[in-house]
């Protein structure tokens, strides 16, 4: 993962990937996860997503990981919460408050022990942020640290020759390759990405249910 690239994006406030509203696919399909209040949900590469606000409002405990400390500081500021900050591992900080725990550092250095038990994963911005060469490693790591927790996964698919990622195009075949051996995969919805990507390149946004087999 190119930490310098993402840190520079946040330093320059070039965060067009940050949505100004809660993702409607999360709102629509979160019930598919079948979670009770108090369940712990992992949000990888979380940035300062408003999806975290929405999850917290529904009594979900959120644990995330994010490269940019700026993003995490802004997240807590916008939540109106003052976190406790601690060094928990080399090159890893933890911002912690009631019901929300965000690690600042490289997800590939996050261990199962540090993450703790989670009942589900919500991946809107992680898989699509990674180039193809890194995605299989990411998927394997995610399975390991989460003990194969069920997932709600959001992806984009488009002609990758038209524009460079991120976000990168992820196909159904890709998802099957990364997760098919461990999960029953079900597409819940495909919808045209409003306005297209980066100047109007047509894209399809999909949401997937990944249930351990």
Binding residues for S-adenosyl-L-methionine: 10, 45, 66, 124
SS3 9: helix
Contact between 47 and 76 (Cβ < 8 Å): no
Give CA–CA dist 189/153, Å, rounded: 11
Transcribe 80-138 into DSSP letters.
T---EEEEEETTEEEEEETTEEEEES-GGG--HHHH---SEEEESSSGGGS-HHHHHHH
Closest CA to 45 of 17, 66, 63, 22: 66
Q: Which residues are annotated as part of the binding site?
A: 10, 45, 66, 124
Contact between 43 and 127 (Cβ < 8 Å): no
Transcribe 150-174 into DSSP letters.
EEEEEEEEE-TTTS--SSPP--HHH
Residue 2 CB: number of other CB atoms within 10 A? 12
Closest CA to 160 of 206, 207, 123, 197: 197
Give CA–CA dist 40/161, Å, rounded: 38
Contact between 84 and 97 (Cβ < 8 Å): yes
């Amino acid at each position: 993962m190119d930490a310098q690239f993402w840190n520079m994006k946040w330093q320059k406030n070039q965060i067009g990937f940050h949505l100004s509203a809660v993702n409607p696919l999360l709102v629509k399909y979160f019930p598919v996860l079948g979670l009770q209040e108090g369940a712990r949900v992992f949000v990888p590469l979380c940035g300062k997503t408003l999806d975290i606000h929405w999850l917290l409002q529904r009594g979900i405990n959120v644990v995330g990981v994010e490269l940019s400390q700026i993003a995490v500081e802004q997240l807590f500021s916008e939540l109106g919460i003052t976190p406790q900050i601690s060094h928990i591992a080399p090159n890893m900080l933890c911002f912690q408050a009631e019901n929300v725990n965000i690690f600042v550092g490289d997800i590939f250095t996050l261990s199962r022990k540090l993450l703790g038990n989670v009942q589900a994963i919500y991946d809107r911005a992680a898989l699509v942020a990674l180039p193809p060469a890194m995605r299989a490693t990411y998927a394997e790591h995610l399975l390991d640290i989460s003990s194969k927790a069920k997932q709600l996964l959001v992806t984009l698919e488009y002609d990758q020759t038209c524009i460079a990622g991120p976000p990168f195009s992820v196909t159904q075949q890709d998802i099957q390759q990364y997760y098919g051996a461990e999960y029953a995969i079900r597409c819940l919805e495909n919808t045209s990405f409003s306005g297209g990507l980066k100047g109007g390149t047509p894209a399809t946004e999909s949401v997937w249910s990944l249930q351990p087999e």
